[in-house]
Chains A and B, each alone.
Chain A
Amino acid sequence: MAPPAQSQRSPSPSQPSGVLIMVNSKSEVSDLKLQLRQLAGSRAPGVDDSKRELFKKVISYMTIGIDVSSLFGEMVMCSATSDIVLKKMCYLYVGNYAKVNPDLALLTINFLQRDCRDEDPMIRGLALRSLCSLRVANLVEYLVGPLGSGLKDNNSYVRMVAVMGVLKLYHISASTCIDADFPSILKHLMLHDSDTQVVANCLSALQEIWSAEASTSEEASREREALISKPVIYYLLNRIKEFSEWAQCLVLELVTKYVPSDSSEIFDIMNLLEDRLQHANGAVVLATIRVFLQLTLSMTDVHQQVYERIKAPLLTLVSSGSPEQSYAVLSHLHLLVMRAPYVFSSDYKHFYCQYNEPSYVKRLKLEMLTAVANESNTYEIVTELCEYAANVDIPIARESIRAVGKIALQQYDVNAIVDRLLQFLEMEKDYVTAEALVLVKDLLRKYPQWSHDCIAVVGNISSKNVQEPKAKAALIWMLGEYSQDMQDAPYVLESLVENWDEEHSAEVRLHLLTAVMKCFFKRPPETQSALGAALAGGIADFHQDVHDRALFYYRILRYNVSVAERVVNPPKQAVSVFADTQSSEIKDRIFDEFNSLSVLYQKPSYMFTDKEHRGPLEFADELGNLSIGEAANNVVPTQMVEENDKDLLLTTSEKEETKGSRNNGSAYTVPYDGSSTSVFASQAQIESAVSNPTLAGHSPQASFAIDDLLGLGIPATPAVPSPPQLKLNTKAALDPSTFQQKWRQLPVALSQEISVNPQGVAALTAPQALLRHMQSHSIHCIASGGQSPNFKFFFFAQKFEESSNYLVECVINTSSAKAQVKIKADDQNTSQDFSTLFESALSKFGTS
């Protein structure tokens, strides 16, 4: 938090004297003050040079965060100079500190206004820019005059600066800007100025102003629409070659919003813009591509041709430029490939990784290789991916094995792939084995016919060499599922059960329970003792899920063994399709936002930036360093989000409709959180979910015979606290100001310390993970922040069908694995129940 320690900084020998020597900043600053004062009135020759040195010092202090605002008066006094560099430094200084010194800023108005009338256009422009950068609300009256004349200046440089000045003014005081009628002047300039940079700046400014005004004023929203009207668009398009490359991006972005009236118009625009695909600036190329894709959405054939046309420029962009640029382009390619895999399938070699590429590029390339795989190229791609499995970069090696698995699940050439995967298992590298095991498990779920080959190899793997929870769980699942084919399955399971207490992952213990059950039904005599031990271990387990499952198995066995067998070992159907993790609506939405951050984050922009819903978080101070953005995400009342979703999601299909094509009126059921849960939920869990819950409740007087069979002495009524009868509203909504108000008013109902399980701590690398988890338990987050080891969260929940709120402050320390929880509630009587609920929800974090 603190500015970089000054003592660390040693001036490098090549620096000019005195630029960055930090001895004692306080005495330095007062020293500077003295020197500046001496120079202020001086007219001696060479005084400008001494001033420069001093100014430089001041600016360098300012840059590294030393407060030099006390020099404000002296700096202003020294600013009476004709030296343009001195002026610039002074302007920079003034711009930085005017906000904290509004009174002193008044001093600068005078000389800035005078400079705005200088004969040199350079100085006029600079002064105007600085004047508008003061950002002091009560000085805006001084801006209107110079801005007005700046917009009419006969020099384009001044006009260009003035246009941006109008936008700055709007952000300081919107009403002043509107009252002075600046937007309509800008509009006139945009359509008539001879200078393209002025036009471009007008466009940016107007877009911002009218979008912001549109919510309150109908006229503004009409004006905003007018920006994408035919005359304006055509006017800009016809001049596009005169614009700078950056302004071209701006114009192209505007064009994507334009809806042409017929197909000939579409072709006209595309013909006009075709040569933009050859522009050296990748940003222009991407913007053009976006225009092409959007325009042709409704014309399937042309859309395909567009894909063909943009292929070469995109591939060029990938291979030229810095890795960061390639990363941005690859993200877009990935999006396109998901929509049209066949287009790039013959270019798969472009996505082969180079040895020295940064891992973020490699990762995207692996995804591309997975996506473009088809019948014709699978063999080459998989061969290449296998090369990476031996990569030094272990995360990439893992990804590439996963990629092989994904391709296998896409059904191409499974035969060859299975062989490869089995070779991985024989490579005897921990991480390779681990990843391969998980894959073999998924493969078997889809292609049970391969079980024979796979099991033979899997059987040779010693469970002692497998440490990673996921891999271990996969191995155990296979041991249970195919115990009849694996000679020593019961004994392997038995040895695993013996080490029950050393097994830290709840996931593994859950799988172990289920596997032992399965094995028991297939080979009862050999498994009996292991089952007993597993159930005993499970029931004594501190983890809620493991405990529950063990208890459930125990009871169902006591109730009826054949029912238990039907529940645990039902005939299985091969999984035909693994569900996609992202809904197609979300994907369309991302596609609509082509060439923006959405594509890189792989989520639509409203999920990560939504200014309209970003309420004023006044108690941000109390929240300390909490991230407002996260709050904004969650503050959005769910209903609103859904509406928002529908509204947003309409765009693609709506456009299609307006362009007269099929409207895929699919149901708009969008998950609130775009990242829907992983579909690779372990099959064991699904199995247990499948089982009829009434069966479990049925049992009390059922046969006790199984007890004898197991030789166990388990108490019939286990000491589990009965689950609290509190239901929460899944769609609770609360805006930050109410939360804040309530938090102030309500007394603390409950304050306690909860220990967090190690898996939870491990999963808490970022606050977001916990937020999603808690949300699945109907506990919503309103603000969160902090970093390891301390995370702080504010949650809220609502009682089902009642407007009774629970507010929670939760501080989690990951090093001590403890959570300090403070609960406040409208209804004090139920706070204990809610606390239990909260605790159980928190304890499940990281294990599900």
Chain B
Amino acid sequence: MPVAASAIYFLNLRGDVLINRLYRDDVGGNMVDAFRMHIMQTKELGTCPVRQIGGCSFFYMRISNVYIVIVVSSNANVACAFKFVVEAVALFKSYFGGAFDEDAIRNNFVLIYELLDEIMDFGYPQNLSPEILKLYITQEGVRSPFSSKPSDKPVPNATLQVTGAVGWRREGLVYKKNEVFLDIVESVNLLMSSKGSVLRCDVTGKILMKCFLSGMPDLKLGLNDKIGLEKESQLKSRPSKSGKTIELDDVTFHQCVNLTRFNSEKTVSFVPPDGEFELMKYRITEGVNLPFRVLPTIKELGRTRMEVNVKVKSVFGAKMFALGVVIKIPVPKQTAKTSFQVTSGRAKYQAAIDCLVWKIRKFPGQTEPTLSAEVELISTMAEKKSWTRPPIQMEFQVPMFTASGLRVRFLKVWEKSGYNTVEWVRYITKAGSYEIRC
């Protein structure tokens, strides 16, 4: 059996119960105590997200200031349980409108109980799709001051929808203006050695969509990925156009994508859910264009002085620019005084994280600002402990740039009523874990 969870608990950081839902009797009522005693109050907290205490296994995840704990008594499917928690949190967020934290839970605990009843029955996951659940568990149900009978009644055929075949979209949607928004969001992960060689580099990207379309539209998306282009040129028996093609290492799709068709024709075709959703995720390791190069030189001058020089080069097109660039340069704990010179942006020393934080709000392409700093250290008696240098970390966003080079070639919308649609496509590249050792 995949999960058959015996109980779910929501706890705050002190270990107080915010929500408890017992699905089965095979675990005792003192499971929360067991969790508190054996995990929360020990050093083991955070050392492993799965723990066995007595005959029960505890899966726990921390989400902002809340722990969600699933208790099982059998040999459960762990991946499924964690995925369930992640999905459940996404669902709660879509109900609360954003934050999921202790306050949100306390304010909405009745709603959460309602949802927990629907998304899991007797320990087996049921329907977690927000689109469907929102049809019959309405936030207004909790909020509205003058609840009257008709408004509380679910949409007549809501329960039919609950389990229907096209579970992600209901029929009869009408929009005045039919619009589709498509965002390609990539995050670049980089690990660079102190000598400047790339140890590890990959891109995880996702395509986010927002659909406001009437009826039951069929969408087709074409990308400049290698397999898709090759297949297309095969089908049309003409040589593929020259130009950059991207090799995707692995792709996963939202359940609405017709995977059989993807496998045979290599095109992404789907009936989209209404509103926002994540269409696909992909991973690329070859041919990644790094948007930034960081060239650090850190010299320890004796025991009380350090000299830090960091040059950051933007490698993308000169017409583009990056936003919200933050470079965190680590310094030793015993830093006493710092002085900077930067050619762009602002820098300051943040003692709480032992870093020089250099912020550049707008960072044009093909430029290379530098930071040079002098750091004075308090001399300590324990000179033996040499400083272990953590890596330099970087955050940024580059709009209209994809590190992988992925582009949308076409996005076709087809609906039987034949309405016109407006399509919007955006690209953005963010820093994932962008680390440079120094």
Contacts and interface: CB of A to CB of B under 8 A. Distances in A.
Interface of A: 1, 4, 8-9, 12, 14-16, 19-20, 46, 48-49, 56, 59-60, 63-65, 82-85, 88-89, 92, 96, 120-122, 125-126, 129, 135, 155-158, 160-161, 164, 167-168, 171, 195-198, 201, 204, 207-208, 241-242, 244-246, 249-250, 253, 274-276, 278-283, 285-287, 312-313, 315-316, 319-325, 327-329, 331-332, 349-350, 352, 354-356, 358-360, 384, 387, 390-392, 428-429, 593, 595-601, 605, 608-609, 611, 614, 627-630, 632, 785, 787
Given A85-B110, A197-B126, A322 B159 contact: no
A168 B124 CA distance: 12
B416 interface: no
B80 to A, nearest CB: 4
A325 B141 contact: no
B235 interface: no
Contacts of A122: 136, 154, 158-159
Contacts, number: 302
A508 B126 CA distance: 58
9 contacts: A158-B159, A196-B165, A286-B77, A319-B204, A390-B389, A609-B75, A629-B52, A629-B55, A630-B54
Given A20-B106, A171-B25, A195-B163, A120 B153 contact: yes
Nearest to A253: B2
Contacts of B122: 164, 167-168
A329 B49 CA distance: 13
Interface stretch (B11-19, B292-300, B342-350): B11-19
Contacts of B145: 49
Given A156-B162, A249-B80, A629-B55, 9 more contacts: A84-B153, A120-B154, A164-B124, A242-B165, A246-B2, A278-B262, A316-B283, A354-B189, A390-B388
Contact of A246 (B72, B73, B125, B146): B125
A575 B261 CA distance: 57
A63 B11 CA distance: 11
A196 B162 CA distance: 11
A63 B19 contact: yes
A283 B86 contact: no
Category for how many chain B residues contact A: 35 or more
Contacts of A313: 250, 252
B82 interface: yes
Contacts of A324: 49, 59, 61, 82
A478 B36 CA distance: 45
A283 B103 CA distance: 30
Contacts of A20: 106
Contacts of B167: 244
Nearest to A249: B2
B160 interface: yes
A64 B9 CA distance: 11
A156 B14 contact: no
B191 interface: yes
B186 interface: no
Given A253-B2, A609-B73, A320 B204 contact: yes
B238 interface: no
Contacts of A331: 78
Given A125-B159, A195-B163, A201-B121, A208 B82 contact: no
A316 B1 contact: no
B103 A608 contact: no
A304 B199 CA distance: 28
Given A253-B1, A320-B281, A597-B75, A358 B162 contact: no
B46 interface: yes
B74 to A, nearest CB: 6
Given A15-B106, A349-B200, A322 B61 contact: yes
Contacts of A286: 77, 79
B159 A155 contact: yes
B110 A56 contact: yes
Interface string B60-71: 010000000000
A596 B437 CA distance: 37
Contact of A600 (B78, B106, B250): B78
B338 interface: no
Contact of B49 (A316, A360, A609, A614): A360
A360 B321 CA distance: 38
B33 A355 contact: no
B19 A325 contact: no
B391 interface: yes
User: Which 7 pairs across A and B sit closest by C-beta, in order of nearness?
Assistant: A629-B55, A275-B259, A157-B159, A627-B54, A283-B80, A246-B125, A605-B75
Nearest to B119: A246
B36 to A, nearest CB: 9
